[in-house]
Amino acid sequence: MGTGTYLDLLLAGLAVTIKTAILAWIIALAFGAVIGVLRTLPSKTASWIGFGYVEFFRNMPLLVQLFLWFFVLPELLPKAAGLWLKQLPNAPFWTAAIGVGLFMSARVAVQLQAGISSLPRGQKQAATALGLTTVQMYRYVLLPMAFRIILPPLTSEFLNTIKNTSVAITIGLIELTGQARSMQEFSFQVFEAFTAATVLYLLLNFVVVTAMRFLERYVAIPGYISGK
């Protein structure tokens, strides 16, 4: 301590929150896209894998999942790998990003599946009639439409991702809530500490919502209710 004000600490916490949330969101989108697509494929195996994945990540509290990644996984790996994992610098950050990311990916998958199945059947049929392969059909026809349709629910999932990073306080990640908590412990200024954190969360929320609203308007599909 000694250098910097409490505001600096809180802002540092905010930066950690944002960094963790963005990395987690990238993971959530990537895995969620794959699993969401799997669930819409005609193959029984694919949709079972998708179903199992979603159930696995949705039916355990996030806190428990983080504990599994942080405390249990290194013990289950071969000794050398486990040791390497435990000694990883910044382990809480990586664990939090991956843990929250995978947790949210199940939710993204469900949204994407709903988006894809909301498309009229003609889209798929037209793509097949044009001779597109399955990969091309998803890449050029279904996914661009589905992602634009589910943008509003995705916005709230992103907000959830930001909020969920605070659970990582339990594995020692000093993000915004964690900084407010330690500021309160050092200074005994309970209300000031938590008010500051609250204001920062509200601001972050506001920024994300505003930015997403612009994005929504930009990518709105012409001819749909939300479109131009």
Instruction: Give the separation between CA 34 and CA 87, rounded to whole angstroms.
Output: 31
Interface of this chain with other proteins, residues 66 to 85, rule: CB under 8 A: 67-68, 71-72, 75-76, 78
Instruction: Identify which of residues 188 and 214 has a Cβ nearer to other proteins in the complex.
Output: 188
User: Minimal distance in Å, beta carbon 130 to other proteins?
Assistant: 37
Total residues contacting other proteins by CB under 8 A comes to 38
The answer to whether 99 touches 60, Cβ cutoff 8 Å, is: no
Query: In this structure, what token pair is assigned to residue 225?
Result: 């209710």
From candidates 15, 26, 126, 190, binder to other proteins by CB under 8 A: 190
Instruction: Identify which of residues 71 and 186 has a Cβ nearer to other proteins in the complex.
Output: 71
From candidates 52, 61, 152, 172, binder to other proteins by CB under 8 A: 61
User: Minimal distance in Å, beta carbon 134 to other proteins?
Assistant: 29
Instruction: Give the separation between CA 40 and CA 141, rounded to whole angstroms.
Output: 14
Q: Is 169 in the site for other proteins (CB under 8 A)?
A: yes
Q: Is 62 in the site for other proteins (CB under 8 A)?
A: yes
Alpha-helical (H) ranges within 41-140 are 44-58, 62-67, 73-76, 79-86, 91-117, 121-129, 134-136
Instruction: Identify which of residues 63 and 114 has a Cβ nearer to other proteins in the complex.
Output: 63
Interface of this chain with other proteins, residues 198 to 227, rule: CB under 8 A: 198, 201-202, 205
User: Minimal distance in Å, beta carbon 55 to other proteins?
Assistant: 6
User: Minimal distance in Å, beta carbon 73 to other proteins?
Assistant: 9
Instruction: Give the separation between CA 79 and CA 85, rounded to whole angstroms.
Output: 10
Q: How many CB atoms lie within 10 A of CB 105?
A: 26
Part of the chain binding other proteins (CB under 8 A), chosen from 91-99, 133-141, 164-172, 220-228 = 164-172
DSSP code of residue 119: S
User: Minimal distance in Å, beta carbon 44 to other proteins?
Assistant: 19
Instruction: Give the separation between CA 183 and CA 185, rounded to whole angstroms.
Output: 5
SS (H, E, C) 126-165: HHHHCCCCHHHHHHHHHHHHHHHHCHHHHHHHHHHHHHHH
Q: How many CB atoms lie within 10 A of CB 49?
A: 16
Task: Using CB under 8 A, list all residues that contact other proteins.
Answer: 55-56, 58-65, 67-68, 71-72, 75-76, 78, 159, 162-167, 169-170, 177, 180-181, 184, 190-191, 194, 197-198, 201-202, 205
